[in-house]
Amino acid sequence: MKNLIRFSIILLMISGSVFGQKYMTKNGKISFFSNGQTEKIEAVNNQVSSALDITTGDLVFKLLMKSFLFEKALMQEHFNENYVESDKFPDASFKGKVTNLSEINFTKNGKYKAMVEGDLKIHGVTKNVKSPGNIEVKDGKIIATAKFSLLLKDYGIKIPNTVINNISESIEITVNVGLDKIK
Amino acid sequence: MQKITSLFLLLACLLTQSAKSQDLLDMLGDPSSKEYTTATFKTSRLIIGQSIENVAKGNLNFIISHHFGRINEGSYNFWGLDQSTIRLGVEYGLTDKIELGLGRSTYQKTIDGFVKYKILRQDNQKMPVSVSYFGNMAINTLKWDDPTRENFFSSRLSFVNQILIARKFNNELSFQLTPSFVHKNLVKRAIDQNNIFAVGAGGRYKLTQRFSVNAEYYYLLPGQTADDFDNSLSLGVDIETGGHVFQLFFTNSQPLFERGFITETQGKWNKGDVFFGFNIVRTFTIVKPKEFRK
């Protein structure tokens, strides 16, 4: 009996480390776009960390809010100071899964539709999100892209009345990460 | 026994499953390693003096600093609003660390040029303070008092060197200490000092995200200048509205550039001998970050 338990624990450990094939990057790209009535605001973050476990479908993202770059330096300051409060909530993260793993062949070059679902944490608030995306397998590299929208009020980010025409309540997020296999 | 084992196995499987995406997240490491403190103050001015903030690289600030007359002049001068002294200034962020500025003041028709350089930056790990150097040269362009004698251009010059030491304690409270050294090439009387030391101190407290109260004080070290003039004290508020910052304040200093307000302040607060004034700061993006160049 003891042997069985020992065996199963070892099996679990092995399945986690050896058979779990993981892909990762530290310089993925996530950008967002606010299509306000009087102003278009765009910001890009080129230092997004992301990892994907192709055996389980686990997919995670993590980024620093202060790494978002804006066209205007003052916007960047206001974003960090007044809206997302980066001193209090320095990072944003996503922890979820690719839910249609069986439809994606990670060993074969090609483009696949992917469904992703999980918990998105921004500004200290965690919400469940679902989004379709694309996964491209290319010579052992995985390129994951997605585009989805979120509402600022869902994450407790307030827009003052004076700039209500400048900032859109709905923000479009674009994800583009190239993941390399961990050796 | 068999049942317990299978239950244990099932549990273990479930646990590892649920822990897996967390493990994956942990594997990414903690990106929040070293971060520089930003927005210690809202603009490059605490009130009338320099703050630790630089204009961002490629950005240009246009600053209109405006003072009315003395409040205690009464209704005849509409409590000072009939008169004004101004300084028009621009400042440009050459790099992330170097800022250059130029200004022209009504006071003694002075043109001043300056450089501000970030030496140290406060971060979330070891560095507790930000430190900058500020150097200013001012040229007085008034007509010579006595054109008949031989006058030298160098007599018009005065210099200010400051070390700005600032700390953002939290989102609301920031504080700055500003040891200053002023040199005047020419002074009026033999007893007047050419070299003057002063220490500035100031801070801000944010009441809302876009509104703060500020105070700034410059203490003259004992000497002839301290005997003849007053220490500069300014109290004000910052109001931020997107692209602009408005700074409204009361001060006992008439001049709006460093040499002037540090060493030539004459107003007395206790007699109502103060000026109401404001700065309007507008930021323009001259060079976009490379990510946004089309």
Asked if residue B156 belongs to a domain, the reply is yes
> What are the backbone angles phi and psi of residue A159, rounded to the nearest 5°?
-110, 120
The beta strands (E) that lie in B122-273 are given as 130-140, 157-168, 173-184, 195-208, 211-220, 232-241, 244-251
Pairwise CB contact (< 8 Å): A60 & B285? no
* CB B203 within 8 Å of CB B176: yes
Helix, coil or strand: residue A140: coil
- Residue B36 maps to a domain: no
- Rounded to the nearest 10 degrees, what angle do helices B2-27 and A2-17 cross at? 20
Q: Quick check: B283 and A73 CB within 8 A?
A: yes
Q: Do B24 and A77 touch (CB under 8 A)?
A: no
Q: How far apart are CA B220 and CA B196, in angstroms?
A: 8
- End-to-end CA distance of chain A, in Å? 35
Residue A46: Cβ within 10 Å count: 15
Domain that holds residue B169: 59-144+151-292
A62: nearest CB among B25, B93, B210? B25
Q: Which of B25, B210, B240 sits opposite A95 (nearest CB)?
A: B25
Between chain A and chain B, how many beta carbons pairs sit less than 8 Å apart? 115
Phi, psi dihedral angles at B197 (to 5 degrees) = -105, 145
Q: State how far the Cα of A63 lies from the Cα of A30, in Å rounded to an integer.
A: 9
Distance (Å) of CA B209 to CA A80, A155, B42, B47, B100? 11, 18, 10, 18, 28
Task: Please state, in angstroms and rounded to a whole number, the distance separating the CA atoms of residues A179 and A64.
Answer: 18
Q: What is the pLDDT of residue A18?
A: 46
Looking at the domain assignment, is residue B168 inside a domain? yes
Asked if B5 and A4 count as a contact pair (C-beta separation under 8 A), the reply is yes
Indicate whether B278 belongs to any domain. Answer: yes
ipTM, two decimals? 0.77
Question: What pLDDT is recorded for position A8?
Answer: 62
CATH number corresponding to A21-181: 2.40.128.110
* B59 has a chain A CB within 8 A of its CB: yes
* Interchain contact, B35 vs A90, CB within 8 Å: yes
- Ordered mean pLDDT values, 10 residues apiece, chain B (294 residues): 65 56 76 80 94 95 92 86 91 96 94 97 93 97 89 93 97 96 93 96 94 97 94 96 89 93 94 93 91 80
Domain ranges of chain A: 21-181
Which CATH number goes with the domain that contains B226?
2.40.160.40
d(CA B239, CA B251): 17
Residue B43: inside a domain: no
Look at A66 and B38 and tell me if their CB atoms are within 8 Å. Answer: yes
Q: Give the Cα separation of B81 and A124 in Å (integer).
A: 48
* DSSP 8-class letter at A54: T
Chain B residues closer than 8 Å to A85 by CB: 171
Whether B236 is covered by a domain: the verdict is yes
Number of domains in chain B: 1
Decide: B130 and B166 in contact? Cβ < 8 Å: yes
Does residue B138 sit within a domain?
A: yes
Q: pLDDT tens digits for chain A (183 residues)?
A: 667 666 665 655 555 444 558 999 999 999 999 999 988 999 999 999 999 999 999 999 999 999 999 999 989 999 998 899 998 899 999 999 999 999 999 989 999 999 999 999 999 999 999 999 999 999 889 999 999 999 999 999 988 888 888 899 999 999 999 999 987
Report the C-alpha gap between A171 and B266 in whole angstroms. Answer: 53
Q: Mind listing the pLDDT tens digit for each residue in A2-41?
A: 676 666 656 555 554 445 589 999 999 999 999 999 889 9
CB distance from B57 to chain A under 8 Å?
yes
